Amino acid sequence: MNKLTCLTLSLLILPSLALAAEPGALSVRGNPLPEALLSMVVFALVGIVTAIGGYRLFDKFTPGDLHKEILENKNIAVAIIAAAVILGVCLIVAAAIMG
């Protein structure tokens, strides 16, 4: 494993260990650690799919081809708008997950 992978794994696992309900029991907010990790993966996948879907819907309902404008024509203004759309969808998804 490279250093980035080890750092990412430690950032995911160490806070979970600190939140354990009692010594020796691996749990996060009352959920067993494997269940919490599974929930995290499911929410991440749902969030990514939703963000991509939101971008595609925005692209479909706007005139022109955003992908072509960004990659071929190097239109920075369109890239900023597309990024704002993706961030907006991500904020909505995060609020729905936390809420």
Backbone angles phi, psi at 98, to 5 degrees: -75, -25
- DSSP characters for 39-89? HHHHHHHHHHHHHHHHHHHHHHHSSS-HHHHHHTS--HHHHHHHHHHHHHH
Task: Provide the 3-class DSSP secondary structure of residue 24.
Answer: coil
36-86 pLDDT, tens digit each: 889 889 989 998 999 999 999 999 998 988 889 999 999 999 999 999 999
pLDDT at 20: 47
Burial class (CB in 10 A: 0-12, 13-18, 19+), 6: exposed
pTM for the full predicted model:
0.61
Other beta carbons less than 10 A from residue 21's beta carbon: 12
